[in-house]
Structure 1
Amino acid sequence: MDSPRILLAAGGTGGHVYPAIAIADALKAENPDTEILFVGTKDHMEWDAVPKSGYDIRNVWISGFHRRFTLKNLIFPVKLITSLIQSLRILSGYKPHVVISCGGYAAGPVAWVAGKKDIPVVIQEQNSFPGVTNRLLAKFAVKIFTAFKQADHFFPEEKTQVTGNPTRATLIGANKSNALDAFGFTDDKPVLLVMGGSGGAKTINEAMKANIEALHDQIGLQIIWQCGARYYDELSTGIKKKNLDNLRLTAFLDNMAEAYAAADLVISRAGASSCSELMLTGKPSVLVPSPNVAGDHQTQNAKAMVDAGASKLLEDNAMKETMTELVEQLIYDQENLKRMNQAALNLAKPDAAKLIAKEILEIAKSKL
C-alpha cells in the first residue's frame, strides 16, 4: 500500500501554524509512513517553525489584501496569479491524497487549486469567527474541524465537526525544576510569563515597559517576556539601562514547554491557539483580547475561559493602569491559582489533534 501523502497549508501567525504542526505530529503518530509537506510563505514564521519541527515546506508568493487602499494592493493580483501557478506545480509534483487548510492567506491558493483538481480538502478552523481564507474554501471542503461551536454558523452543518484546537503534545511534560533552571530562575519567587503572540503585541509591550520595575522590584517576580521580533531591539536597548536580573526578554520562545512549566501565571492575548495551550497546560491566565481582530473573536474566547474560572479578563486599553495590581492579587493567592489551574484543565481537549488525524487518514485511504 502506498504511504498517504498529506499537504498542510498554513501561514502568517502561530495561531495558524502551530495547530498545523500539531496535526502533522498526530498524523505521524497514527501512521509513521505518512508523508507530510507544508506550504507557507518565506517571510513569515512558518518558514522557521516548520523545519524546526522536522517537516519540509514549500513557498507560495502571496500576502493579504488590505481593506483600505495601499500601494501594496496594486501588486496583489500579480502575487495571486503567481501563487496559483506555484500551487499547481506543488500539487502536480507532490500528488497529495489530502490537502489541509489551517488558515492564513498562504492556505488560500493551494487549497483552492486542490479543490479545482478534485483533491480532498479538509479545513481546520481555530477561531469562533472563521478567517476569510477558510470561509472561502468551505465549498471545496469534504470535512471541516472547528474549535468553537459558534464557528459552525459559517460552515455547512453536514461537513462540520467540533473537535477543539489541535495543540502540540510537546507543550506538556516539562519538569518545573528543570524549567526554572533553563531560564536561570530560582524556586523562591513566582514566575510571570508574558506573551504577545508570535508577532508580539504593541499594547502588551507598552504596558510591560511601563510596569516592569514594579513587577520586578516591588512585587518581586521572575519574568519571561516574549515581545516579538519587531519590538525586541527597541525594548532591549531601553531595558539594558535598568537593573532587572530576573527578567528574561526574548523576541520569540522556542522552548514553550519550559516557559509554561516555569510559569505560575500567564498574561496573553486570547487567540484560539493561545487559549487552547493554556487549557492544555492548565495555566492560570490574564487574557487581554486584541481589539483589532475580525468579529471580536478574542473577547469571545476570553469570556469562555473567564466564565469557567480559568482566567481573568483585562481590557486592552486599561492594561497599563491596572495590570500590576491584578498580577499581585493573583500570583500570591495559591488557592485561587489551584482553582484556575483545574478549571483550565477541565476545558482542555487534549485529543483534538489525534481525532483530526484519524479522520484525515480515513479520507486519504479512499484515495490510495
Structure 2
Amino acid sequence: MSEPTNPSVVLAGGGTAGHISPLLAIARALDEAQPGVSIVAVGTAAGMETRMVPEAGYRLETIERVPMPRRPSIDLIKLPVRLLRAVRQALRIIDAASADVVVGVGGYVSTPLYLAAWLRRVPVVIHEANARPGLANRLGSRIAKTVAVAFRGTGLPDEQWVGMPMRKEISTLDRTSARAAARERLGLDPQLPTLIVTGGSSGAASINRAVAEAAAGFGTDGSGVQVLHITGRDKQVTGPDGRLLTRPGYRQIEFVDGMENVYAAADLLLARAGAATVCEVAAVGLPAILVPLPHGNGEQRRNAAELVAAGGAVLVEDARLSGSWLTAEALPLTRDTARLARMSAAAAPLGVRDADARMAGLILDAAGVRP
C-alpha cells in the first residue's frame, strides 16, 4: 500500500459522457486537494474514455466489457466466464497501482473493479449519477465504504447527497457576466430573449421534429425570441425544399463545444433530462424545459422530479412535444422574465457547485488521508 500522504486512487467508469465527465471532474478535484495523488482511470477499449481520459491528462487502463443481460440469452450463459476474466484484469490493475481506494461511477466497467477491490480488501467509494441507480452501483453499494449520490432518495444504503461533479467552467459560471461573450461566440443577438434547444450530442429526433414544425412561424409570429437549435452530430433540419432550414430568429448547429456557453447564452433551455443536464442547470440557475426519454427505466423522469416540483423546471412528455406546444408554451416563457427569475431562484437550493470537492474529500477519507 502507498503512503497515506501520497494515495493511489483507481477510478472506474466509462462508456458514455454521463459516466466519464463526473469521473474526470473527480480526478481534477483530487489533484487539487492532494497534490501528488496517483490516479489511474479504468474503462473499456470501445468507450468514449479512450479519447476523453488521455485528453484530460490521465492514464487509462482497459478491461473487457461485461454487459449484464436482463433476460435469458447467449450473453447470460457467457457472463460468468466474461466476468471472471474482467475481475482478473481488474485485480492486476489494482495490484499494479497499489490502490488505496477504488472509486466507481457506474457502468459496465465498474462491477469487475468493485469485486476486485473486495477481494483485495481495498475500500470502495461509489458515486451514483442518476435518481434511479444502475445495476453496477446497486451491486457495488453492498460492499462500498461510502455511497455518494447526485440525487436524494435513490434507495442505495447509507447514501450521502453530494451532487454531480462537473467541470469548473460550469460549476463556477456566472451566467449574467458571461452572457454577452457567450452569445457572441454562438452567433446570437446580444439583446433578444433566447431559447436554446438541444437533444444532446447525438441529437433527439422528436425534439428536432418539434422545432422544425415550429420554425415555420419563426420571424413571423411576432414573438421577438431567437432560437438556437443544437441538432446533434451529423443531424440537420431541412425545410420542404430539402435544404438546410433557415428562418429569421432561428439558427441551427450540430454541436457546441463547451456547454457553459449554452448555459450562459440561454434565457431558457429545452433539453432531455439526463442526470448531468438536470444537475448543471440547477447549479447555474438556468430555467429549463425538460423532456424525459420516453423509453428505458424511467430514470430521466425521476432525475427531473425534484427540480420540477421545486419550480425550477417545466416537464413535458416526449409525446406532447410538438411545434404547436413550442409556439404556445416555450416561446412565451422565454419572454416572461419574471417567471424565469422565479424558476432560477427555485433551482438554487438544489444546485450543488462543489460536488467534485465533496467527492475528493470522501475518497481521501476512505484512503486514510486526513486534511
Q: TM-score, normalised by structure 1?
A: 0.86
Query: Residues 67 and 210 (structure 1 numbering): CA distance in 2 closer, same or farther, change over 3 Å?
Result: farther
Q: Which residue of 2 aligns with 1:173?
A: 173
Cα distance, 1:137 vs. partner?
1.0
Aligned counterpart for 1:319 among listed residues 318, 321, 334? 321
2:332 — aligned with what? 329
What is the letter of the counterpart of residue 331 of structure 2?
E
* TM-score scaled by length of structure 2: 0.86
Partner residue of 2:38?
35
Contact 1:19 1:167 in 2 (8 A): yes
Q: Counterpart of 1:305?
A: 307
Distance 1:355 1:64, change over 3 A: same
After superposition, residues 1-368 of structure 1 pair within 5 angstroms as 1=3, 2-67=5-70, 79-151=82-154, 153-155=155-157, 157=158, 160-171=159-170, 172-173=172-173, 175-215=178-218, 218=221, 219=223, 221-229=225-233, 232-233=234-235, 235=236, 240-244=243-247, 246-251=250-255, 253-294=256-297, 296-320=298-322, 321-365=324-368
Question: Residues 30-57 of structure 1, C-alpha deviation per residue, up to 9 Å, x if partnerless?
Answer: 1222222211223333333333333222
Q: Please say if residues 151 and 163 of structure 2, whose CA atoms lie closer than 8 Å, have aligned partners that are also in contact.
A: yes
In the alignment, the residues of structure 1 paired with residue 216 and residue 140 of structure 2 have an alpha-carbon distance, to the nearest angstrom, of: 48
SS of structure 1 residue aligned to 2:141:
helix
Equivalent position amino acid for 2:229 in 1: W
Sort the Cα spacing of 1:249 and 1:120 in 2 relative to 1 into closer, same or farther, 3 A.
Answer: same
Distance 1:200 1:186 in 2: 24
Q: 1:235-276 CA distances to partner (integer Å, 9 max, x unpaired)?
A: 36777532357424224x331111211111111122222111
Answer whether contact 1:13 1:198 (CA < 8 A) is retained.
Answer: no
Q: 1:112/1:207 Cα in 2 relative to 1: closer, same or farther (>3 Å)? A: farther
Residue 163 of structure 1 aligns with an amino acid whose one-letter code is V
Unaligned ranges ≥5, structure 1? none
Identity of aligned residues (%): 34
Cα distance change of structure 1 residues 298 and 91 upon mapping to structure 2, 3 Å threshold:
same
Distance in 2, matches of 1:12 and 1:212, equals: 35
Distance, in Å, in 2 between the alignment partners of 1:254 and 1:241 is: 21
**Structure 1: how far apart are the matches of 2:54 and 2:166?**
18
The AA in structure 1 aligned to 2:44 is T
Q: 1:61 to 1:186 in 2, by over 3 A?
A: same
Instruction: State the distance in 1 between where 2:329 and 2:66 align.
Output: 39
- Contact 1:224 1:259 survives alignment (8 Å): no
What residue ranges of structure 2 are gaps of 5+ in the alignment? none
Instruction: Describe the shift of the 1:216–1:60 C-alpha distance in structure 2 as closer, same or farther (beyond 3 A).
Output: farther
Q: CA RMSD in A?
A: 2.7
More helix by share: 1
**C-alpha separation between the residues in 2 aligned to 1:298 and 1:273?**
11
Q: Work out the CA distance in 2 between the residues paired with 1:67 and 1:177.
A: 49
In structure 2, the CA distance between the partners of 1:107 and 1:79, relative to structure 1 (3 Å rule), is same
Displacement of 1:17 in angstroms is: 2.0
Could you tell me which amino acid in structure 2 is paired with residue 55 of structure 1? Y
Deviation at 1:360, TM superposition (A): 1.0
